[in-house]
Amino acid sequence: MKEEKSKPSIFDNIIFYTLTVLLLVFGGQLIGVILLLPITYLTKIGVISETPELSIALDYFSTIGCWAICLLWFLFKKNRFMYGELKPKKSGNTIPMFIVGCIVGFVMNALCILTAWLNGDVSFEYDSFKPVWLVILAVCILIQSSSEEVICRVYLYQKIKNRYKNPIVAVIANSVIFSCLHLMNPGVSVIGIVNIALIGTFISLFIYYFDSFWCASAIHAAWNFTQNIIFGLPNSGNISPFSMFKLTAARDSFAYNKDFGVEATIISLIMEIVGITVVIVIGRKYRSSKLLSKQTETANEVKAEV
């Protein structure tokens, strides 16, 4: 889809984009609360039983409001091209890339947790396996994770990329702003914010090299689902009342932080730096092969015309 190339206005700058992100986040939260008012009312009067599973599902699902406000925001002419970033017609928005994202998010988070467990920093006990709720929660977490991605890796990233010549500005700036959105989270720390900025950079590189919003959302969702719903660990400081396993003991170390989980640790920082390096290496090769393929295709078309 064609992107806007009009002359930048006084509003085309990172400060205005950041203020818009805050508007989308808080406006989306308000819309989410309003949309869930009927269910909230039914639980209060006892028509619907308020269970831990329902509580966390509604908490994640409420971010549907962020999706709603973004889709409305994209109706403006200068934002309309962003709809194209979400569609399956986009080159990187494929089922295989979505599956790759799920695997990457799960493996990276699970390796951090495994390190903490092997080091004796955490211990778990099995609690329950509720397949229906696990599926529902997976969908709700995908809504939550993709809502953050549509704000930061579609609106914010695309706006900065179109405004500034160097794409690294878009990758870094949106990741820093993304991490700042977590400043008020429970148990937040400096290393936690740094790590969130790094995971934001890691995900942004999938957008830059592979042009895949679907993959970016899957990475984010699989990471959150693994630590919060499977292992019952803090998700950026927030603990789920329902999980397959329950944390029975924990201590602070290079691999675990009792307040913020694995996201505020040295092992997570190392994992993210390694991940960023791998994506850059693979991404460059992918872009080079894609460029070569296009050049070959163009050459063949020229020969055919001749």
- Give the pLDDT confidence of 50-85 residue by residue, as tens digits: 999 999 999 999 999 999 999 999 999 999 999 999
Query: Pick the residue with more confidence: 229 or 297?
Result: 229
The confidence score (pLDDT) of residue 154 equals 96
The confidence score (pLDDT) of residue 91 equals 83
pTM: 0.91
Query: Pick the residue with more confidence: 297 or 23?
Result: 23
Res 295 pLDDT > 70: no
What CA–CA distance (Å, rounded) separates 112 from 233?
A: 12
What CA–CA distance (Å, rounded) separates 74 from 55?
A: 31
Q: What is the CA 209 to chain-centroid distance, rounded?
A: 16
Cα separation values, 205 from 55, 211, 277, Å: 34, 9, 10
pLDDT band (50, 70, 90) for residue 2: very low
The confidence score (pLDDT) of residue 1 equals 41
- Joined together, the tokens standing for residue 257 give 């932080």
pLDDT band (50, 70, 90) for residue 287: confident
The confidence score (pLDDT) of residue 297 equals 56
The confidence score (pLDDT) of residue 288 equals 86
| Paired strand residues for 247 | 124
The confidence score (pLDDT) of residue 9 equals 73
The confidence score (pLDDT) of residue 4 equals 47
Per-residue pLDDT averaged across 163-186, rounded? 94
Beta strands in 138-250 (DSSP E): 245-250
- Asked whether the beta carbons of 149 and 216 are under 8 A apart, the reply is yes
Mean of the per-residue pLDDT values of the chain: 92
Tell me which residue has tokens 């990172």.
Answer: 14
What CA–CA distance (Å, rounded) separates 113 from 121?
A: 9
What CA–CA distance (Å, rounded) separates 163 from 173?
A: 12
- Asked whether the beta carbons of 230 and 243 are under 8 A apart, the reply is yes
Amino acid at 299: A
